[in-house]
Structure 1
Amino acid sequence: MVGTRGVPARYGGFETAVEEIGKRLAAAGHEVTVYCRGERYGDEYLGMRLVYLPAIEKKVAETLSHTGLSMMHAFREKIGRDGADVALVFNAANAPLLPVLRTLRIPVATHVDGLEWKRTKWSGAGKRYYRAAEALAVRWSDALIADARGIQDYYRERFDADTVFIPYGAPILDGTDTAKLAEAGYEPGGYHLVVARFEPENHVHVAVDGYRRSRAAKPLVVVGSAPYADEYTATVKELAGEDPRITFLGGVWDQDLLDALYAGALTYVHGHSVGGTNPSLLRAMGAGASVLAYDVTFNREVLGEEAGRFFADAGELAAAVEAAEAAPGEAAERGQLARKRAAERYVWDDVAAAYERLCLDLAARRTSRRAARSR
Structure 2
Amino acid sequence: MRIAMIGTRGVPARYGGFETAVEEIGSRLVEGGHEVVVYCRGKNRSPSYRGMERVPLPALKHPILETLSHTALSVGHLLRHRCDAAIVFNAANAPLLPVIRAARIPVAVHVDGLEWKRGKWGPVGRRYYLVNERVSVWLADELISDAEGIADYYRERYDTPSMFLPYGAPIRDSTDLSRLSELDLTEHGYHLVVARLEPENQVDRIIEGYLQSDAQLPLIVVGSVPYESEHEKRVNELAESDPRIRQLGGVWDQDLLDTLYAGAASYLHGHTVGGTNPSLLRAMGAGANVIAWDVNFNREVLGDNGVFFNGLTQLSAALEETESDPTAAAERGLRARTHAAATYRWDEVTKGYEQLCEEMRAGTRSRKLRKQAHGSPSPLAPPPEYHKLGKSHST
- The alpha-carbon deviation at position 255 of structure 1 amounts to 0.7
Equivalent residue letter for 1:303: L
Distance in 1 (alpha carbons) for counterparts of 2:267 and 2:296: 18
Equivalent residue letter for 2:346: W
Is 1:314 aligned to residue 312 of structure 2? yes
> 1:198·1:229 contact (CA, 8 Å) conserved in 2?
no
Q: TM-score, normalised by structure 2?
A: 0.91
What CA RMSD, in Å, does the superposition of the two structures yield over aligned residues? 1.3
Aligned residue for 1:53? 57
Distance in 2 (alpha carbons) for counterparts of 1:300 and 1:139: 30
Alignment of 1:286-365 (within 5 A): 286-305=285-304, 307-365=305-363
Aligned residue for 1:67? 71
Aligned residue for 1:223? 222
- The alpha-carbon deviation at position 296 of structure 1 amounts to 0.2
Q: Which ranges of structure 2 fall in alignment gaps of 5 or more residues?
A: 374-395
Identical positions, percent = 60
Alignment of 1:181-192 (within 5 A): 181-192=180-191
Is 1:17 aligned to residue 17 of structure 2? no
Distance in 2 (alpha carbons) for counterparts of 1:155 and 1:362: 20
Distance in 1 (alpha carbons) for counterparts of 2:133 and 2:102: 20
- The alpha-carbon deviation at position 229 of structure 1 amounts to 4.0
> 1:207·1:271 contact (CA, 8 Å) conserved in 2?
yes
- The alpha-carbon deviation at position 234 of structure 1 amounts to 1.7
Aligned residue for 1:266? 265
Aligned residue for 2:203? 204
Distance in 2 (alpha carbons) for counterparts of 1:331 and 1:302: 18
Is 1:146 aligned to residue 154 of structure 2? no
- The alpha-carbon deviation at position 177 of structure 1 amounts to 2.5
Q: Which SS does the other structure have where 2:109 is aligned?
A: strand
Distance in 2 (alpha carbons) for counterparts of 1:203 and 1:244: 20
Q: Which SS does the other structure have where 1:32 is aligned?
A: strand
Equivalent residue letter for 1:327: D
Range 234-243 or range 98-107, more displaced: 234-243
Residue-pair matches, total: 367
Q: Which SS does the other structure have where 1:106 is aligned?
A: coil
Q: Which ranges of structure 1 fall in alignment gaps of 5 or more residues?
A: 78-82
Q: TM-score, normalised by structure 1?
A: 0.96
- The alpha-carbon deviation at position 174 of structure 1 amounts to 2.5
Is 1:29 aligned to residue 33 of structure 2? yes
> 1:212·1:240 contact (CA, 8 Å) conserved in 2?
no
- The alpha-carbon deviation at position 75 of structure 1 amounts to 1.2
Give the ranges of 4+ consecutive aligned residues of structure 1 lying more than 3 Å apart after TM superposition: 368-373
- The alpha-carbon deviation at position 329 of structure 1 amounts to 0.4
Equivalent residue letter for 2:332: R
Describe the superposition over 1:119-150 as per-residue Cα deviations: whole angstroms up to 9, x where unpaired: 01111100000000000000110000000000
> 2:239·2:247 contact (CA, 8 Å) conserved in 1?
no
Aligned residue for 1:121? 120
Describe the superposition over 1:248-288 as per-residue Cα deviations: whole angstroms up to 9, x where unpaired: 11111111111000000010000000011000000000000
- The alpha-carbon deviation at position 316 of structure 1 amounts to 0.8
